[in-house]
Structure 1
Amino acid sequence: MPFFQQLHIADTHVYTWQLTETVEQLSAGLTLSEGEEERLTTIHSQKKQREFLAIRHLLQQAQLPTTALYYTPEGKPLFEGQYISITHSQDFVMIALSPRPVGIDIERCTPRILRLAPRFTPWQAPPDMDELTQIQAYTQLWTIKEALYKIANQPSVRFYEDLQIPHFQALAPCQQALITYPEGDKAYKTRSFFWQGYIWSITNDKSLTTNHDN
Structure 2
Amino acid sequence: MPLYKTIKPNKHTTIYVWKIEASFCELSEEIELTERSKNRLLSMKSELHQRGFLSIRHLLIKAGYTDFDLYYNENGKPHLKDGKHISITHSFNFSSLIISDSIVGIDIEKNREKIKIIQHKFVNFEKGFIHKDDDYIQQLTVIWGAKESLYKIYPHGGLTFKNDIDINSFEMKDQKTTGCIHTQGWNKKYDIYFEQIENFTLVYAIDPLSND
**Shorter-chain TM band:** 0.7 to 0.9
Contact 2:108 2:202 in 1 (8 A): yes
Contact 2:107 2:149 in 1 (8 A): yes
Q: Residue 21 of structure 1 aligns to a residue in which SS?
A: coil
Match of 1:212 in 2: none
Contact 2:102 2:210 in 1 (8 A): no
Q: TM-score, normalised by structure 1?
A: 0.86
| Structure 1: runs of 5 or more not aligned | 210-214
Q: CA deviation at 1:153?
A: 2.7
Are 2:104 and 1:102 equivalent residues in the alignment?
Answer: yes
User: Which one is further off, 102-111 or 148-157?
Assistant: 148-157
Match of 2:46 in 1: 45
CA distance in 2, matches of 1:155, 1:102: 15
Q: CA deviation at 1:126?
A: 6.7
CA distance in 2, matches of 1:59, 1:185: 31
CA 1:50–1:181 in structure 2 vs 1: closer, same or farther (change >3 Å)?
same
Match of 1:70 in 2: 71
Provide the aligned C-alpha RMSD in A.
2.2
User: Which one is further off, 140-149 or 118-127?
Assistant: 118-127
Q: Deviations along 1:119-152, whole A, 9 cap, x unmatched? A: 211222779732x311111111111111011111
CA distance in 2, matches of 1:50, 1:111: 25
1:172-183 aligned at under 5 Å gives the runs 172-183=174-185
| Structure 2: runs of 5 or more not aligned | none
1:16-35 aligned at under 5 Å gives the runs 16-33=17-34
1:95-174 aligned at under 5 Å gives the runs 95-122=97-124, 123-124=126-127, 129-130=132-133, 132-166=134-168, 168-171=169-172, 172-174=174-176
CA 1:169–1:53 in structure 2 vs 1: closer, same or farther (change >3 Å)?
same
CA 1:199–1:111 in structure 2 vs 1: closer, same or farther (change >3 Å)?
same
CA distance in 2, matches of 1:208, 1:26: 33
CA distance in 1, matches of 2:129, 2:61: 45
CA distance in 2, matches of 1:152, 1:34: 27
Instruction: Give the total of aligned pairs.
Output: 207
Q: Residue 3 of structure 1 aligns to a residue in which SS?
A: coil
Structure in which a larger fraction of residues adopt helix = 2
Match of 2:80 in 1: 79
Using CA pairs under 8 Å that are at least 6 residues apart, name the structure with larger relative contact order, 1 or 2: 1
Q: CA deviation at 1:23?
A: 1.1
Q: Deviations along 1:4-51, whole A, 9 cap, x unmatched? A: 111112111111111111111111242345554444333332222212
